[in-house]
């Protein structure tokens, strides 16, 4: 069954992609959750028109995403965490803390577009993060977890 995605779906595709999925996945999850619509002749035609109108704006959005990626890669991020006697962190570091640290450095990135490569983080050290800013632009960056 063909579906037009209305939102980015991990391990499936990005917004406005037309993907082939099993009918149960489409009818029981994607469509009820608002992640996609059925791709029939009329919706495909409307989708093509929307993409055609949006194509000139897409170049500008991609350039902005590349600028943000350069800023992210150039920043050095430090996240403070409470540490126990044996060097382990109370709790763990998550994407909300990463987003707030980036915002403090002057780069505003949505936490949903951030991903921590070596999850879960339970110890002090240097780790790698990934920011998916656009379907063609992503930035890999290092961040350090330090003792508060």
Closest Cα to residue 75, out of 135, 148, 144?
144
Q: Given this chain, do its domains 2-64 and 67-147 carry the same CATH topology?
A: no
Dihedral pair phi/psi, residue 72, rounded to 5°: -65, -45
β-pairing verdict for 18-20 and 2-5:
antiparallel
State residue 14's pLDDT score: 86
104 pLDDT tier (thresholds 50, 70, 90): confident
Using DSSP's 3-state secondary structure scheme, residue 62 falls into helix
State residue 23's pLDDT score: 95
pLDDT at 144 over 80: yes
How much is the pTM? 0.63
Looking at the domain 67-147, which fold is it?
A: Ribosomal Protein L9; domain 2 (3.10.430)
Looking at the domain 2-64, which fold is it?
A: Ribosomal Protein L9; domain 1 (3.40.5)
Q: Can you spell out the DSSP letters for 66-105? A: HHHHHHHHH--EEEEE-B-TTSEEEEEE-HHHHHHHHHHT
State residue 24's pLDDT score: 95
C-alpha 74/C-alpha 81 separation (Å) is 23
State residue 25's pLDDT score: 94
pLDDT at 115 over 80: yes
User: With b meaning 16 or more CB within 10 Å and e meaning fewer, what string describes 92-113?
Assistant: ebebebbbebbeeeebebeeeb
Q: What does the pLDDT look like over 16-31, one tens digit per residue?
A: 899 999 999 999 999 9
Which residue ranges make up each domain of the chain? Answer: 2-64, 67-147
């Amino acid at each position: 069954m063909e579906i037009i995605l209305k939102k980015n779906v991990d391990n499936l595709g990005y917004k406005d992609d037309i993907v082939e999925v099993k009918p149960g996945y489409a009818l029981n999850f994607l469509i009820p959750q608002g992640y996609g619509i059925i791709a029939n002749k009329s919706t495909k035609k409307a989708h093509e028109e929307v993409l055609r109108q949006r194509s000139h704006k897409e170049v500008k959005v991609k350039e902005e995403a590349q600028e943000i990626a350069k800023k992210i890669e150039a920043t050095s991020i430090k996240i403070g965490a409470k540490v126990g006697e044996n060097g382990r962190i109370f709790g763990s570091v998550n994407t909300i803390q990463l987003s707030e640290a980036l915002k403090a450095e002057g780069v505003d990135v949505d936490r949903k577009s951030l991903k921590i490569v070596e999850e879960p983080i339970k110890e002090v050290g240097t780790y790698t993060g990934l920011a998916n800013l656009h379907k063609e632009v992503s930035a890999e960056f290092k961040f350090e977890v330090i003792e508060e």
